[in-house]
Amino acid sequence: MNKASFRIDNLQYCNWSEEIFKINSEAKLDAIHVTIAYHEDFNEVEKNISVWNSRFKNFKDLIFHGKTFKDIEKAQKEKKTAVFFGFQNCSPIGDNIGLVEEIHKLGIIFMQLTYNNQSLLATGCYEENDSGVTRMGKEVIKEMNRLGVVVDMSHSAEKSTLDAIKISSKPIAITHANPSFWFAAKRNKSNEVLKALANSNGMIGLSLYPHHLKDKSNCTLESFCEMAAKTADLIGVKHIGIGSDLCIGHPDSVVDWMRNGKWTKTKDYGEGSSTNANFPKQPDWFKDARGFKNLEQGLKKVGFQDTEVNDILGNNWYNFYRGINN
């Protein structure tokens, strides 16, 4: 891998520890995008950031807070991992558009408009009816565009996602999902969405989370890489990256929090079920970020050229980050 080739995983939510940071380092990840809010409000986010600041201090030889594309370059040069912040929900801003600027000051790079449910901004993928981006959602997108906070529609429904692509003056991201032509999970995206995303210079991060995979935990590397090839045929290789959605090291109580948060008293199983309620087992070929090496080999085996493999495994996300503040 030459100096111009980056390795970026654009979504992880792990039980952070020195061990996991060392695994990411061993995988030669130059950058990761991490979730610091699912259902938290603004004050709770500030506490989460305080915890991250302690990690940056305690593990300064491994990680640092990433804020622009230049930090990806710095990370590679210093053999560290730049950590970029994102929200998987808009809960931290509540009904106050003024907080968009405040989260930007805190270093938030990505914000999803929804997390499965209807929000004040848009409709989540688990709702029966998709009314699209709301009046407030349109205003928040404008403010995010102004500030350089990326609109992320990973957990949003079809019309809402298409609306966001159309409304946003900047390219949006679907940081972690897969095409529904391969596996029709509620979270995966239609050909129409993928084409609209690519036509607006957006990016999709292909997910390694088993509930998004064909055959789930038993998904094969070959099947995943063949899906990547078909996606490249559909929208072009330049719009594809990795957003693994790794959730390693957590107790199963955390996935319960992710699904239920503060919004329900009736247990919701999300993509799981009452008989399969826990975190699913990762495929053997992607147990953690060291699986990037398997992805590299698998993508080459299905016909991608070396430059295309490097694009998918990091360079495309690097170029996306370059464009955020332009």
Ranges of beta strands (E only) in the chain are: 8-12, 31-37, 63-65, 81-87, 108-112, 150-152, 173-177, 203-206, 240-242
- The token pair at 316 is 């495309």
pLDDT of residue 3: 52
Q: How many CA atoms lie within 13 A of 232 on its CB side?
A: 21
Q: Whole domain around residue 122: which residue ranges?
A: 8-323
**Is residue 3 in some structural domain?**
no
CATH number at residue 67: 3.20.20.140
143 in a structural domain: yes
At which residue do the structure tokens 């038993």 appear?
218
Inter-CA distances, 273 with 9, 156, 276, Å: 28, 21, 5
Tokens matching residue 295? 């992805």
**Angle between helices 69-78 and 316-323 in degrees, nearest 10:** 140
The verdict on residue 74 lying in a domain is yes
Considering the domain boundaries, does residue 2 fall inside one? no
Structure confidence by residue, pLDDT tens digits, 138-179? 999 999 999 999 999 999 999 999 999 999 999 999 999 999
pLDDT band with cut points at 50, 70 and 90 for residue 266: confident
Per-residue pLDDT of 45-83, as tens digits, reads 999 999 999 999 999 999 999 999 999 999 999 999 999
**Is 1 among the domain residues?**
no
Sorting pLDDT into bands at 50, 70 and 90, what band is 193?
A: very high
Q: What is the 3-state secondary structure (H, E, C) of 14-80?
A: CCCCHHHHHHHHHCCCCEEEEEEECCCCHHHHHHHHHHHHHHHHHCCCCEEECCCHHHHHHHHHHCC
Domains identified in the chain, total number: 1
Pairing mode of beta strands 108-112, 31-37:
unpaired
Average pLDDT over residues 269-283: 80
pTM surpassing 0.85? yes
| Candidate from 46-60, 199-213, 267-281 with smallest mean pLDDT | 267-281
Question: Does residue 165 belong to any structural domain of this protein?
Answer: yes
| CA distance linking residue 34 with residue 45, whole number of Å | 13
